[in-house]
């Protein structure tokens, strides 16, 4: 177990073995890159200005920019070297004392998390959302098509996805307004047409988003190339208006029911940090059918990240957990998603976002959406002492993830 000379609360998610990357600002100063240890946000632009990355950074002034895109478009070796340098600066016993022995630099570059404003860490050029949890896809298919026709014929052959809306990807916390749109007038008879009104079936989706890094390309990626292009991961909530979605999604999939808000966590946890928690997926094997060669992953797996969703109503003083899932609950992993995304020659750029799709497990308490937890509104979901089938006005939705 590694420790830091900088004080870290015992229950902190941000230990010396994490070292995520984000973008923050303080009053009077522009947004710039940071990492976090415990409750302390470290201004990476000032560490860079002090020369602490001079020998490992290929270009200057990377961390004074308002997003991480320039940093993550560098090769993977640069990301890894910078993360290791930060660890060497902070670990105890100290391997690089240039920060520990510079109290003036500490005073300038250290900020308590309560004193800063966090920003969207990347400029999202493009955002794609996948549908890669077999349990989730089976649940939704069973609800709408029946158990015998739950999975579409293509689902076990390729990572199903659709293009989302990058302009409405927001950093959490973010206030989401209940959207209005076209709703099917008669729930049982689509021939009666539609009416305009507020969404009545507002939902969350528990997801993880992979952040693409590296230089732009227009050639298909192999699985190994795809792995080297994934900078890290964000928790993601793909807010969904289920009744608007029901009316609009045939034949091209969701549109206005999902384009109004997608929220992500402010800190990107790197793929390097998660390597210690690599684990088999819940699927175990992909052998019925075996994927086509370009999708075959010799090290097929995901990461053991416990993920929870909690809801706090306007009348409650604390959030109440409504589901607990795991990033292992995927059939198609992030590298397979990226390889498939590029199979036709699609250009991928630094900052592109790949949503995993709702991550549901095999038990009812691991379903990653209210649609599943309430089984299409047929049963109540307990939220502390309250109950609901979908989200109410004033509800606060809290996503968390941790490795064990």
pTM of the model: 0.97
The chain-wide mean pLDDT, for the chain, equals 97
pLDDT, tens only, 265-318: 999 999 999 999 999 999 999 999 999 999 999 999 999 999 999 999 999 999
Rounded to whole angstroms, what are the CA distances from 190 to 93, 165, 248, 279? Answer: 68, 27, 11, 45
Contact 53, 85 (CB under 8 A): yes
pLDDT at residue 344 tops 80: yes
Give the 3-state DSSP-derived string for the chain, with helices as H, strands as E and coil as C. Answer: CCEECCCCCCCCCCCCCCCCEEEEECCCCCCEEEEEECCEEEEHHHHHHCCCCCCCCCCCCCCCCCCCHHHHCCCHHHHHHHHHHHHHHHEECCCCCCCCCCHHHHHHHEEEHHHCEEECCCCCCCEEEECCCHHHHHHHHHHHHCHHHCCCCCCCCCCCEEECCHHHEEECCCCCCCCEEEEECCCCCHHHCEEEEECCCEECEEEEEEEECCCCECCCCCHHHHHHHEEEEEEEEECEEHHHHHHHCCCCCCCCCCCCCEEECCCEEEHHHHHHHEECCCCCCCCCCCCCHHHCCCCCCEECEEEEEEEECCCCCCCEEEEEEECCCCCCCHHHHHHHHCCCCCCECCCCEEECCCCCCCCHHHCCEHHHHCCCCCCCEEECCEEECCCCCCCEEEEEEEEC
Domain residue ranges in the chain? 3-119, 127-403
- Rounded Cα gap, residues 401 and 309, in angstroms: 9
At residue 49, the pLDDT reads 98
262 is an annotated ligand-binding site residue = yes
The fold of 127-403 is Fumarylacetoacetate hydrolase; domain 2 (3.90.850)
pLDDT band at 1 (very low <50, low <70, confident <90, very high): confident
Ligand-binding annotation for 245, yes or no, is yes
Does the pLDDT at position 332 exceed 90? yes
pLDDT computed for residue 378 by the predictor:
98
According to the model, what pLDDT value does residue 183 have?
A: 98
131 is an annotated ligand-binding site residue: yes
What pLDDT is recorded for position 31? 99
Phi then psi dihedrals of residue 178, to 5 deg: -65, 120
Q: 159 with 59: CB under 8 angstroms?
A: no
In which band, very low, low, confident or very high, does the pLDDT at 231 lie, cut at 50, 70 and 90?
A: very high
- Just list the catalytic residues: 136
Q: Is 40 annotated as a binding residue?
A: no
* pLDDT reported for residue 217: 87
pLDDT band at 110 (very low <50, low <70, confident <90, very high): very high
Judge if 3-119 and 127-403 fold alike in CATH terms.
no
CATH code reported for the domain at 3-119: 2.30.30.230
Residue 371, phi-psi category: left (phi > 0), alpha (psi -120 to 50), beta (remainder):
alpha
Q: Which residue has the higher pLDDT, 312 or 2?
A: 312
Amino acid 264: pLDDT: 99
pLDDT digits (tens, 9 = 90+) for 165-211: 999 999 999 999 999 999 999 999 999 999 999 999 999 999 999 99
51-95, pLDDT tens digit by residue? 999 999 999 999 999 999 999 999 999 999 999 999 999 999 999
Measured distance CA(15)–CA(72) in Å, rounded: 22
256 is in an annotated binding site: no
Give mean pLDDT, residues 330-335: 98
Residue 218: predicted pLDDT: 86
Whether residue 273 contacts residue 234, with contact meaning beta carbons closer than 8 Å, is answered with no
Q: Is 205 annotated as a binding residue?
A: yes
What is the reported pLDDT for 173?
Answer: 97
* Beta sheet of 40-43, edge-to-edge order: 110-112, 40-43, 32-37, 22-25, 117-119
């Amino acid at each position: 177990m590694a420790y830091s000379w900088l004080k870290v609360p015992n229950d902190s998610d941000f230990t010396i073995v994490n070292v995520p990357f984000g973008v923050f600002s303080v009053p009077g100063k522009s947004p710039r890159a940071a990492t976090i240890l415990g409750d302390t946000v470290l201004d990476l632009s000032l560490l860079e200005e002090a020369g602490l990355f001079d020998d490992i950074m290929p270009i200057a002034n990377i961390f004074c920019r308002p997003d991480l895109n320039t940093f993550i478009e560098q090769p993977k070796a640069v990301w890894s070297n910078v993360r290791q340098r930060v660890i060497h600066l902070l670990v105890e016993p100290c391997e690089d004392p240039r920060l520990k022995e510079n109290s003036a630099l500490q005073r300038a570059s250290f900020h308590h998390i309560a004193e800063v404003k966090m920003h969207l860490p990347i400029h999202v050029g493009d955002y794609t959302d996948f549908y890669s949890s077999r349990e989730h896809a089976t649940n939704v298919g069973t609800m709408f098509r029946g158990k015998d026709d739950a999975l579409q014929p293509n689902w076990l052959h390729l990572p199903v996805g659709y293009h989302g809306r990058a302009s409405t990807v927001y950093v959490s916390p973010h206030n989401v307004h209940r959207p209005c749109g076209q709703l099917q007038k008669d729930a049982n008879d689509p021939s009666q047409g539609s009416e305009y009104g507020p969404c009545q079936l507002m939902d969350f989706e528990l997801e993880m988003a992979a952040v693409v890094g590296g230089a732009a390309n227009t050639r298909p990626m192999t699985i190994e190339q795809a792995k080297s292009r994934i900078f890290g991961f964000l928790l993601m909530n793909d807010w969904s208006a289920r009744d608007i979605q029901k009316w609009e999604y045939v034949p091209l999939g969701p549109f206005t029911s999902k384009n109004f808000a997608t929220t992500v966590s402010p800190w990107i946890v790197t793929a390097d940090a998660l390597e210690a928690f690599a684990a088999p997926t819940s699927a175990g094997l992909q052998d019925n059918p075996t994927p086509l060669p370009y999708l075959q992953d010799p090290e097929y797996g995901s990461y053991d990240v416990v993920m929870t969703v909690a809801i706090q109503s306007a009348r409650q003083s604390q959030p109440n957990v409504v589901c607990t899932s795991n990033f292992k609950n995927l059939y198609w992993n992030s590298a397979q998603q990226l390889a498939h995304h590029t199979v036709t020659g699609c250009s991928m750029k630094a900052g592109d976002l790949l949503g995993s799709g709702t991550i549901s497990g095999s038990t009812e308490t691991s379903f990653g959406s209210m649609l599943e937890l309430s089984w299409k509104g047929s049963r109540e979901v307990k939220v502390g002492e309250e109950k609901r089938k979908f989200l109410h006005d004033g509800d606060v939705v809290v996503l968390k993830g941790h490795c064990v």
